[in-house]
A and B are shown apart, each in its own frame.
Chain A
Amino acid sequence: MNGPTVLLDPTAELAPVARALSARPPSLDGKRVGILDISKARGNVFLDRVDELLAGRGITVMRYRKPTFTRPAPAVLVQQIAAEVDLVVEGLAD
């Protein structure tokens, strides 16, 4: 077994190696929020409550569901979410 693949940085090294997370929106005002249920048992109970809380603040919520939690979301679903909402809430694991 060879060691890990090491690449040499082709850039001027002005940014850290670890990639930054996407910037957080300062507020949810006027944003459309997606909720993605990964189809884990009873995940819907938690996500329904998140939905209620967001809707109570006047935020548009769209619901999505993966066919199974065992596989990555199908590309079509990812594209649909990306086209329809500004940000997405996704629960991972149990």
Chain B
Amino acid sequence: MPSLPDGLVVVAKRECPTCTLVEPLLAELTADGTPVTVYVQDDPAFGRGATRVVDDTRLEHSFALDVEIVPTLIRVEDGREVERTYGWHRGDWQRISGRAGLGAALPEVRPGCGSLTLEPGVAETLAVRFGRAKFASRAVEIGAAEDPEEACFARGWSDGLPVIPPTRERVLRMLSGTTRDPGEIIGMVPPDLAPCTVEKVAINAVMAGCKPEYLPVVLAAVEAALIDEFGMHGILCTTMFCGPLVVVNGPIAQAIGMNSGVNALGQGNRANATIGRALQLVIRNVGGGRPGEVDRSALGTPGKYTFCFAEAEHPQWNPLSVERGFARGTNTVTLFAGEGVQGIVDQKSRTPESLARTFALCMRAVDHPKLAMAGDALLVVSPEHSRVFFDAGWSKARLLEELTALLQLPGDEMVVGAGGIAEGLPLSMKGTRVPKFRPGGIQIVRAGGSAGLFSAVIAGWAASGPVGSTPVTKEITT
């Protein structure tokens, strides 16, 4: 940006009626010899009567001057801005120009119009074009004839589905979703233990399809995944099924349009789909965690593309975030090393006792009905099922207590060889009662559509607990 020309500067666009209103004044402004320079955003034929008209259709000058409204009038002395006004305010224009009778025939005030620099999507383009946006990440220039989506596949950046090409404009827009410094390192991502900046998360969030307002949730999810007890390295490299499942609590879920209702664990909601995917893309791209390399899962699970939903919070049950020690209303992510969704069908139970027994029986299937103290469980209770507990006054804590009691299982049926099955617990467990889950190994959330007497159990990694992965909860900040 060259220094400003002395005299008066007017930034305008033909499309703006207030600009055309003041156009006839330009000649009058130059009458005493004051140089008048017009920067015009749309039509270089605009500005008759000015000393000089500068074609600013690339918006370089308008952007450098931070013009928000046209017309903008600026008085410049010795190359420096002294004063400015915008729109048409007769008194302001008369004072700044020093011409007392200016525009006497015009109305006293006319508001201006929005500068083209503020059209949706334009600001980021200009910030990149004119060098105001700086990135630490390496720029990858793709071939002129190369398809950007295919280029992302070819470079190994995709999980198998198309990604949004992470252009600088998109990354800049994504970074507007957080107040955090793009250069802030939020942790070391396994398996490569590569340092991960806010900017790298933003790039991967772009590719996943996130909106900028999802970025704080993605950042919290990545930070949670990097907490040591979550054991992300093991979750990635295990031959078992699991991947990081994200449960979102607090008002942010509704604010960004997350789904906690119909088909909450399924497809179709952008926030659910892309937040979970962004986390996995960070693991893949920043951490270097790719299937067949360090990811050795025998079968995997579709949730390793993305697995993220919000809890359908209800006043009668503490949300997961509260159970995990946060105040109600706090925005949190809770990460769980989840496998697949196992449906629980019970359309006949009308008492909490009966329904809890159903849950307990179905939860025995985690890992294997003859194994215990291995994988955790995330129980997802649907609204229709949760109503059975609400009506009977059972809190979530009460349900957890009852399930824990119901899941003290007979060792006789579970030891190796029992039932003609070699798999099972050590023979020493014979004659004892065996807890199916480790203490703290059951999480309960409420989610789902309003119709359907169905719930679900999501098995955890068989190496749950301190040996492998413990669920973690992190507050979402801005």
Contacts and interface: CB of A to CB of B under 8 A. Distances in A.
Nearest to A16: B138
Q: Is the interface on chain B under 10, 10 to 19, 20 to 34, or 35 or more residues?
A: 35 or more
B140 A14 contact: no
Contact of B141 (A4, A14, A19): A4
B112 interface: no
Contacts of B141: 4-6
Contact of B167 (A7, A9, A12, A14): A7
A8 B138 contact: yes
A5 B157 CA distance: 16
Interface string A53-85: 000000000000000000000000000000000
B148 A9 contact: no
Nearest to B195: A12
B398 to A, nearest CB: 46
B281 A10 contact: yes
B207 interface: yes
A14 B200 CA distance: 14
Given A5-B141, A19-B155, A11 B167 contact: no
Interface residues of A, number: 13
A52 to B, nearest CB: 37
Given A14-B288, A19-B155, A8 B140 contact: yes
The binding surface of chain A is classed by DSSP as: loop
Contacts of A19: 154-155
A94 interface: no
A10 B222 CA distance: 14
A17 interface: yes
A10 B165 CA distance: 10
Contacts of B167: 5-8
Nearest to B189: A12
A8 B377 CA distance: 39
Nearest to B204: A10
A78 B104 CA distance: 79
A24 B168 CA distance: 36
A6 B170 CA distance: 11
A4 to B, nearest CB: 5
Given A10-B200, A12-B286, A13-B138, A4 B207 contact: no
Given A12-B192, A14-B194, A19-B155, A7 B285 contact: no
Contacts, number: 74
Most B-side CB within 10 Å, residue of A4, A5, A17: A5
Given A14-B194, A14-B288, A19-B155, A8 B137 contact: yes
A10 B144 contact: no
Contact of B207 (A6, A10, A12, A13): A10
Contacts of B207: 10
Contacts of B138: 8-9, 13, 17
Interface in A1-43: 4-14, 17, 19
A93 B167 CA distance: 35
B152 interface: yes
Given A11-B285, A13-B137, A5 B165 contact: yes
A74 B281 CA distance: 33
Contacts of A13: 137-138
B243 to A, nearest CB: 19
B287 A10 contact: no
A17 B142 CA distance: 10
Contacts of B421: none
Contacts of A5: 141-142, 146, 148, 151, 165, 167
Nearest to B147: A5
A7 B192 contact: no
Nearest to B282: A10
Instruction: Sort A-B residue pairs by CB-CB distance and give the 3 closest, nearest first.
Output: A12-B194, A9-B138, A10-B285
11 contacts: A5-B165, A7-B142, A7-B165, A9-B203, A10-B285, A12-B189, A12-B194, A12-B285, A12-B286, A12-B288, A13-B137
Interface of B: 135, 137-142, 144, 146, 148, 151-152, 154-155, 157, 165-168, 171, 189, 192, 194-196, 199-200, 203-204, 207, 281, 285-288
Given A7-B148, A9-B138, 17 more contacts: A5-B146, A6-B139, A6-B140, A7-B140, A7-B166, A7-B167, A8-B138, A8-B140, A10-B137, A10-B157, A10-B203, A11-B157, A12-B200, A12-B286, A13-B138, A17-B138, A19-B155
